A and B are shown apart, each in its own frame.
Chain A
Amino acid sequence: MYPSRFRYEAPRSLSEALDLLKLYGEDAKILAGGQSLTPMIKLRFTSFEVLIDINNIPGLDYHRADSDGTLHFGALCRHSDLEHSELLHRQQPTMAAAAPLIADPIVRNRGTLVGSLCHADPQGDWASVMLALNGEIIAASAEGERVIPVSELVVGPFQNALRQGEIAVEARVPAPKGTVSGDYLKLERRVGDFATVGVAVALESSGSTVSRAGIALTGVGPQNIKATAAEQALVGNSLNSGTIDQAARLAAEAAQPKTDHRGSAEYKRHVVQTFVSRALANRQPARAA
């Protein structure tokens, strides 16, 4: 790997990192897990003056739950931490299902949830999961912190809403109300492949009635798509073959797939429909609140 020349900074604290970011301005780039950035600099698709490696900042590798069920994920929480997380297996089935489907074990050992959201790859899996869960990120800068819903963070393919000088320090999933269930289904050509189609489903229900529905799609548009109409079709209803079919159809309509070497637009839309109905029918319950 022979990237263009750049300066390498390895700050030891968040404030040092924010100072460096301020100092170098638009010439600086943040390195988290490096699993998206490194391939791009290797292929010389991107170049910059300064690389700010945040991996030496202590205290960012956490993920934890508040007593109300709010989930917090630090900027250095790796995919593999989530894959092996007892917490997610207990409380968050959509995330637990998605984690082992991201990339391959080697990439999962380095790549981060927050980095994946910042990278805004339309084929990234976490953004769909977070859209389905109404997730948000906390952006920190020398000036302070602000909260950005993931639905506003991703503004286009590989474009995020972070401002110059900001680091995403945490991702959050709001506390659920009612019974949690969900799933993540992904069509990949082999392990380590990005999604041809990915579908995140996250439900909250009381009794047999769905109180909140999150459905989001990966790989079938210029960015991850929140299938709002499909979600609405479920809220206030119970799940049966009629409501499942309807939600699946609406989700397929929300998809904006393109024909490419992974398949025709028609095929991808069909898989969205199949996956949404399978995910709704076979969704996993949270084991405990």
Chain B
Amino acid sequence: MTFDFAIVLRFKEALLLGLWTTLQLTVICVVLGSLLGFLVGMARSANSPFVRVPARAYVEVFRGTPVIVQLFWFFFCLPLVIGTEIPNIVAGIIALTLYMGAITSETFRASLKSISREQYDACTALGLPHATQVVHVVLPQALLRAAPTLLSNCVSLFKESALLSAVGMADLMFIGQNISNNTARPVEVLTVVALIYFAIAFPLTRVVTRFESRVLAKLSA
């Protein structure tokens, strides 16, 4: 069997369009999911069990089940439960946002917890009001510390977003599959699709590693 990678070039536009859809969906779910994750991460350390327990349950359920099951649940089951159709884009965004929310909440929770008692003591000794303490001392450090992990959460989401093809979203994976079926050239097409995902994810993971050591050095003082 001979491989003809040139054939993939004929579908350049379609693949780029798919990539564009993947990136858009990733960005939307990253933004919504991180906001959700931040709130849930804070809720995890709330004093009231009425806040803490549901937050924990949510995180455990979404971290403890396969993303594709979550996606199918929102696509196939939620419409039956609420009795209305849900467009696949809506089901997809809900599922990936909730997934992103669950994993980033752990990131935020860990970074909030990593701020030492000494930092809080210093704030009290300086008489900083609670709001100042949160806005000027706790949050900047927590966000800085969370940033590298958050970035790798984003890379995970970018890769997981390929699952959206299973509910018919025309993302990079979906278009790749279609081209591969229509041309009967799965090796060439899917290899190129994999390389495109890799070309974006790999540099980002390198950035995470570099960034992480710099952040840790800075915050270690």
Q: Do A and B bind each other?
A: no
